[in-house]
Amino acid sequence: MGHAVAVCGMPGSGKGEFANIIAANGIPVRSMGDMIRAEVKARGIEGSPTIYGEVAAELRAEFGEDILAVRLADEVSELMKTHPIVLIEGMRGTAEYEIFNSRWMPNFSSIAITANPEVRFQRTQKRGRSEDGDRGQFEIREAREAGWGLYSLIDAANFTIVNESTLEDLVKAANQWLQEFTENNS
């Protein structure tokens, strides 16, 4: 059985870039944010800075804080049968952590990608996603995700990568982490 690794971090920290780097190494990646984007599309709603958070909050309110993890867990379990590592990008809540941890422990770890708020805000302004808005929207999103327990996840992560420099530095750090993780979990 493989090992599931969930990536957490505040908006703009570099979770998606980290996931892209890991995916380039042949590791399957499943994105919790993509699940919300797909839900918005399925509902026929136009993307905006507030809609993704609203839909995520609606899903959690209707089906429970762990709904995204519950929906994703079977697919990840299947991938773990044939892959040594499966990466879950975008774990945001403690309820999601509990689902993953209870299902796969000891074959589950988490990694936090961190950066200071100003660096993260500037990144959100450059990436051009419809869920990114102005500073006010950024702060609303920060508070919402913190309310799901994201700070606790970051603090409790098994691994942390500080991402306040260049993409090249993140590539080096991510590849180094992957090499060390693979060596220690083979």
- CATH of residue 65's domain is 3.40.50.300
pLDDT at site 121: 92
> How many domains does one find in the chain?
1
| 112, β-bridge pairs | 8, 160
The per-residue pLDDT for range 54-102, each reduced to its tens digit, is 898 899 999 999 999 999 999 999 999 999 999 999 998 999 999 999 9
pTM for the full predicted model? 0.90
Domain that holds residue 107: 3-184
The per-residue pLDDT for range 96-151, each reduced to its tens digit, is 999 999 999 999 999 999 999 999 999 988 877 767 778 888 888 888 888 888 99
pLDDT at site 130: 67
Query: What is the per-residue burial (b if ≥16 Cβ within 10 Å, else e) of 73-110?
Result: beebeebbeebebbbbbbbbbbbbbebbbebbeeebbb
